[in-house]
Structure 1
Amino acid sequence: MAVNTSADAPLPVGQVSRLIGGWIDRLGAVWVEGQITQLSRRPGAGVVFLTLRDPSYDISVSVTCFRQVFDAVADVVSEGARIVVYAKPEWYAPRGQLSLRAVEIKPVGIGELLARLERLKKALAGEGLFALDRKRPLPFLPQLIGLVTGRASAAERDVLENARRRWPAVRFEVRNVAVQGVHAVPQVVDAVQELDRLPDVDVIVVARGGGSVEDLLPFSDEQLIRAVADCQTPVVSAIGHEPDSPLLDLVADVRASTPTDAAKKVVPDVGEELDRVRLLRDRSLRTLRGLLDREQRGLAAALARPCMERPQRMVEEREEMVDALVDRSRRTLRHLLDRADSELSHTRARVVALSPAATLERGYAVLQRADGAVVRSPDDVSDGEPLRARVSGGELHVAVASHGDALPGQSNGQSQGQSPHDG
């Protein structure tokens, strides 16, 4: 409201400054865009000082904010960057100075930031860090779970409570880190690498609640992506909510839409597993009973066969066959023996008929000289030569009496005094 003043009744400077401060206080918080020309972050200080400049009008204004407000965008904001701040105008009456108290800072050019992330994504994909064959399956029941999350955060509470509700005996190794700001990346990387070195940790969960693209920038950092790719332990990414998709989701072995979903993916539900065990047990019993019933029916059918009711019947049938075969073999052998005997008798008769002994039996004799040669002609012997005569009954020794003409009634081939039975 207007103030009545005159040359005779002027206002003191202090009162004017206080009036200006009152008018500015009524303005309320506004969104302001500008370029950072100065940035002061003193170590240990809780307040950050900025100077925003409007290049079009060459006007600058001071901005102050709490350190945690600036740390949320510290990794993407630096001097020379254009930002948008949501701030409350403040008037410092002793100095007559206007400043802005920022409660939120956003960098301008988010499209350019997303383009940079897309280029990084393509480069890492070209190296094969997002390949499906690199993904490792999660253990069915991890004995120890590593959790990397913010201190006393909703994400930590969701993972711990839901996991223990599903499997009360599950154990956690928690590492609380900064999940946004300039310190987020190195702390998360150190925590992941430390948990990966622990031999008892079966799976690592990196969890954070939802947030803006700027808030989730640490989880798309190249250093963190490569650290997760080098892990020997399976890693679960539980960053943000369903629409959020930092690069960590692509390199992790399993991507969970929320921290609660991560708890469901990491540990099984004890109730569901008990139900599954009961179902499998019932199915096994039904299968076993069916198998026993089928085998019992088969056994009953086998026992009902005639050969099983009277097993000796088969032996009796075979006994008759054996007896018949024995009789047949005997008849055959007897026939063969009879025929062989007949053939032998005939052969013997022929041999006897052709034997020289049979000829001797008829009264003939065989003359042999002293050297055993058989005499076949009178010319073969000389007068007085001793001879041996073989007859049927034995041998006779004779001598040639005359080597002349044959005696009356004898042929020239017989010696004098030789007869079939002479001695």
Structure 2
Amino acid sequence: MDQLKKTNVLKPKRKISLVVSDLSSSGSGRWGGAVRPFLLYKALKKLNYEVEVIGFVPHEQSSDIPPSEIPIITIPAYNYPKFIISINTLIKTIQGNIIYASKLKPTSFGVALIKKFKTRCPVLLDIDDWELSWYGGDDWAYRPSLKQFARDILKPEGALRNPNHPVYLRLTEGLVSQADVITTHTHFMQERFGGVYLPQGKDTTVFDPSQYNPETSRKRYDLADYRVLMFPGAPRPYKGVEDVLMALDQLNESDLRLVIVGGSPYDDYDHQLMEKWGRWIIKLPRLPVSAMPEVVAAAHIVVVPQRDTPAAKAQFPLKLTDAMAMGKPILSTRVGDIPEILGDTGYLVDASSPEQIADKIRWIFQNYQEAIERGKEARKRCMECYSIDKMADILSEVISQL
């Protein structure tokens, strides 16, 4: 027995370093800790691992992650050539004996591999986006003239000074095989990069509809006079918000509103939507993660109208699990993994089809009690398949392979 106790005392505790490419307000910090890296953090904590979240923040920005909720370590990031200093600082700061890189980027996976080559520590890679899809995917090519190439390297704002330029993204893709384990959250990404399917999880004890009254929530956010279609995320063209707004034009029912929560941290796209369809839009500010269950409770229908693009196929929309956990009627599109995620618990239409969206909105409100029951089934499905506990179960098996 004494020998067993001595063995347990000497056994080192495994610490995992979650390396995140961008912890700023326009990166993973934009929802205050509700996006993929922090779901991984919560799942790992459930497994009783010691976990540190460490990553870059552009030197002119700051992180929006509440320090009291999720402890993070941020390293100022500069463009090349000064970025080499940032890399060295992050590598020296990493304390984990396992590294979990979030995103297939030089600023996360690339840095993790450097640490691996120096220390032989295992590296897991989580791929939650096809980064090159933002630049045209496999069709993207960099073919500058000699003069342009010189400008891209030598000018202070030259394109190749950006650590996440597509040239570097493509090179990093070629290093995927160097990861000890790959996890990803869609079958599209799994087919492309291999690895273990690790779907998005939601904390269903926090997102619990029994804790909120929809009418009270609507009153609090000045939505009591409307039938609320909610898009609880950052609008971008591939997310299909325009299709919902065109559907509202077709329905032309004065009490319908599309509520957009948070707006876009990337550009002025949501302002463009307001200019064209302002009469149908109510925009709520970006709110703390802790407020999101109450906000989603105010929705009559949550809309996730993804368009059929490579970027959309590569993603598992977090808005789906928000709505599922809160037991809401969900209207979405037949894109990527969405039909499989929802099963029979949501309503599906073809992508880029405002006419079908309009018809389905009308039908849902005409049969709203049935929609409510379907929302309850969505919550059950979320608890069984898409919870933080489910993520933890899969991660337990993944890490045991190391």
Could you state the TM-score of these two structures normalised by the residue count of structure 2? 0.33
More helix by share: 2
Bigger-Rg structure (1/2): 1
More strand by share: 1
